Amino acid sequence: MFALFVEYPSWIDPYVIDGLPIRWYAVMYLVAFFVAYLLFRYQCRHDGVIEMNASESQDFFFIAILLLLVFARLFSVLFYSDPVYYLTHPWMIFWPFRDGRFVGLPGMSYHGGVVGCVLGGYIYARRHKRSLLQLTDIVTAGIPLGYTFGRLGNFINAELYGRVTTKPWGMIFPGASPFPADEAWVQEIARKVGLEAASGSLINLPRHPSQLYEALFEGIVLFLILFFIIRPIKKKKGMPHGFVFSFYLIGYGVFRFFIEYCRQPDSNIGYVINGGGGGNIALFESFLNISEGQIFCLLMIAAGALLLAFVLARRGTYDSGKGGKAKKGAKGKRA
């Protein structure tokens, strides 16, 4: 029988060095931050939109990354885990050990990371009398290329895999939950992809490699759009600060919203809106079945749209007959 699926590469090891509790996922996080920092410094030196030396940039990144990690973990605890457990065991939120093993921070929320990063930027901007929207424009122009590596880290960890699929690039992840072979839908999927489903057994079915979808679209494609299209438009058209950030929020929200239809929701949560019936989260059944992650994406899109409307309205104010002197003064002091 011809197999229409891909086995997860057996040579991939989530640990950098056998015997040491250092995972490639953690290394990818560091690479992501470093890439984002390099792109930030590049814009500081070559775009002429802000004057920040390396020391100031490092201070900004330190507080932004610190709050990113804190809020990414808090959102994961509040929205994707058992909040009651953590309310009664608050010390476990940031405790990096489980069952005597070092596991780092098991569970981070991207959307929480965004909130933490923006809050860190706000604190830095207030303290150093900088424009928050200017900082967010510079950071978000390059940050998607950074978290491309974070999604590759998810793939190396064989986590956050997608829903069951019959596509020929569907991948069997070793740690994915198997299904009872006696269920009719499991037998049908197995037959289509060329797997044997022995009665009474459990079978691991191919799934979308959604981590790679996210690395491509939320990472590389979004980076190319923001860095090489939106950023030059802002500079050429003299758009107020917040222009790039608004497109980042909209772009990420749109890409992630649709990729979520391929990514399996958390089993302990399921769908927030089950408008299409069914309820088998391992399969795509309806566009009306909405996950919690998609709700956050819709909020991102709405926030980006509102910010973009605000930015365009401000530009209209600058260009609405205030006179050359007013325009010149506004150009250098946009918030």
Question: Mind listing the pLDDT tens digit for each residue in 175-203?
Answer: 899 999 999 999 999 999 999 999 999 99
- Tally Cβ neighbours within 10 Å of residue 147: 26
Q: What is the pLDDT of residue 304?
A: 98
Confidence check: pLDDT of 324 > 60: no
Return the bridge partners of 291, or none.
271
Q: Mean pLDDT over all residues of the chain?
A: 91
Please, what is the end-to-end C-alpha distance for the chain in angstroms?
A: 63
Q: Domain count of the chain?
A: 1
In a domain, 277, yes or no: yes
Q: What is the pLDDT of residue 300?
A: 98
Q: What is the pLDDT of residue 279?
A: 86
**Backbone phi and psi for residue 157, each to the nearest 5 degrees, phi listed first:** -75, -5
Local confidence band at 3 (pLDDT 50, 70, 90 cut-offs): confident
In a domain, 326, yes or no: no
In a domain, 332, yes or no: no
In a domain, 276, yes or no: yes
In a domain, 103, yes or no: no
Q: What is the pLDDT of residue 335?
A: 39
Q: What is the pLDDT of residue 317?
A: 67
pLDDT digits (tens, 9 = 90+) for 126-162: 999 999 999 999 999 999 999 999 999 999 999 999 9
Token digits for 142? 């390059």
Length of the chain (residues): 335
Domain that holds residue 220: 6-50+130-316
Local confidence band at 2 (pLDDT 50, 70, 90 cut-offs): low
Confidence check: pLDDT of 7 > 50: yes
In a domain, 237, yes or no: yes
Strand 97-98 versus strand 171-172 pairing type: unpaired
Residues 6+ apart with CB under 8 A from 78: none
In a domain, 243, yes or no: yes
Local confidence band at 319 (pLDDT 50, 70, 90 cut-offs): low
pLDDT digits (tens, 9 = 90+) for 241-295: 999 999 999 999 999 999 999 999 988 899 999 998 888 999 999 999 999 999 9
Confidence check: pLDDT of 318 > 50: yes
Q: What is the pLDDT of residue 82?
A: 87
Q: What is the percent of the chain where pLDDT is above 70?
A: 94
Q: What is the pLDDT of residue 320?
A: 54
In a domain, 59, yes or no: no
**Backbone phi and psi for residue 132, each to the nearest 5 degrees, phi listed first:** -60, -45
Q: What is the mean pLDDT of residues 299-312?
A: 97
Q: What is the CA radius of gyration of the chain?
A: 23
3-state secondary structure the chain: CCCCCEECCCCCCCECCCCCCCEHHHHHHHHHHHHHHHHHHHHHHHCCCCCCCHHHHHHHHHHHHHHHHHHHHHHHHHHHCCHHHHHHCHHHCCCCEECCEECCCCCCCHHHHHHHHHHHHHHHHHHHCCCHHHHHHHHHHHHHHHHHHHHHHHHHCCCCCECECCCCCCEECCCCCCEECCCHHHHHHHHHHCCCCCCCCEECCCECCHHHHHHHHHHHHHHHHHHHHHHHHHHHHCCCCCHHHHHHHHHHHHHHHHHCCCECCCCCCCEEEECCCCCCCCCCCCCCEEEHHHHHHHHHHHHHHHHHHHHHHHHHHHCCCCCHHHHHHHHCCCC
Residues 6+ apart with CB under 8 A from 316: none
Confidence check: pLDDT of 329 > 60: no
